[in-house]
Copies of this chain bind each other. A is one copy, B any other.
């Protein structure tokens, strides 16, 4: 199936918003064995949108739109698509009621009549109810072309695709596509590619592909068969081969993230942890507590953005900080030990370093120390994570969670 992703939004054409939807949907579509051959972006302009739809109709058999489903007058994707495919718009009472209920519950003061626009969808469509926002999506088929419309905001578009569009797309093909995502941390993409290039080029079904994910590598094994069981059986040996090749750098298969894996392992083992964050300023805690159920294993900790707080909240010896420096092996170790005791947790993670742009005159920007403490020991990883502030901070958090999962998986903690 050949797919065009058609994103609607003037903010994309003004460079106000980066088009992450197109990347995220493309990524997930390739996992479904759908060929994405075109991304098109047009603004909130009915004529140009209609032109774009006419072009897409001729070359694609699946058109996925993002954006323009909201309540405002420039949200015109539904109306234009309906017209291009010769369908009327009709009111969907169940969506109307859901909208009224949502506003009554969440934002009674913000309800305005134009919000009800969102309950109008093309006639004879499959409604894709939106549990992540107010604007429902929809799907229909006309003249052999399948259309799926999704909202634009990434925090709605991505779950809407995963939980609403994917089942619909799967139902369109008599072949089943099954894929495993192998998550790897600690090896670069090109190194992984070098390891598997020959195999990847030879393989047809199942296929193996690598993707660079912010500071990680993801390998996707995809098989096509008539039943999911068949397809899954075809994937299994490839997953095993990759595990053998990459060893403990493979942190999981079909897991969401390093922190999600840590949450599962901590629950399993009945262990709790704490955090002491300098460089990351709360990012480790924020990423972990983004996971539902985090409170079962995470007790909290300190954001020690200045030395005085390191000393006061974690009982770290000021002189040691002065002599060794806030960015040092010793301080990272003391932060982890101090946080574990202060919070009375089984384990603790710490991060200190220089995210930049300014250095400290001693270490280059990107110098980072990440620590892990348990009752008896402390481990510290020293890292050089480049010069881009956002990347340094995220990678430092990744390393903290990698140390934690290695501890919980009984693997060596410092390597990788």
> Which chain B residues lie closer than 8 Å to A72 at the CB level?
189-190, 193, 210
Residue of B nearest to A19 (CB): B19
Instruction: Please determine whether A303 and B302 come into contact, CB atoms closer than 8 angstroms.
Output: yes
Known: A190-B114, A281-B285. A37 touches B42 (CB 8 A): yes
Within 8 A of B (CB), among A197-211: 197, 200-201, 209-211
A96 at the interface (CB under 8 A from B): no
> Which chain B residues lie closer than 8 Å to A308 at the CB level?
299, 343-344
A362 at the interface (CB under 8 A from B): no
Residue of B nearest to A71 (CB): B190
Instruction: Please determine whether A42 and B38 come into contact, CB atoms closer than 8 angstroms.
Output: yes
Partner of A290, one of B26, B52, B74, B390: B390
A344-379 interface bits toward B, Cβ cutoff 8 Å, 1 = contact, 0 = none: 100000000001111000000010000000000000
In the assembly, how many copies of this chain are there?
2
A388 at the interface (CB under 8 A from B): yes
Instruction: Please determine whether B14 and A389 come into contact, CB atoms closer than 8 angstroms.
Output: no
The range of chain A's interface size is: 35 or more
Shortest CB-to-CB span from A191 to chain B, Å, is 6
CA distance A132 to B36 in the complex (A): 31
Instruction: Please determine whether A74 and B300 come into contact, CB atoms closer than 8 angstroms.
Output: no
Instruction: Please determine whether B295 and A299 come into contact, CB atoms closer than 8 angstroms.
Output: no
A309 at the interface (CB under 8 A from B): yes
A269 at the interface (CB under 8 A from B): no
A15 at the interface (CB under 8 A from B): yes
Known: A288-B281, A390-B290. A14 touches B26 (CB 8 A): yes
Partner of A27, one of B15, B220, B342, B393: B15
CA distance A292 to B287 in the complex (A): 20
Known: A112-B191, A282-B283, A313-B342. A306 touches B302 (CB 8 A): no
Instruction: Please determine whether B290 and A389 come into contact, CB atoms closer than 8 angstroms.
Output: yes
A229 at the interface (CB under 8 A from B): no
Partner of A155, one of B20, B214, B299: B214
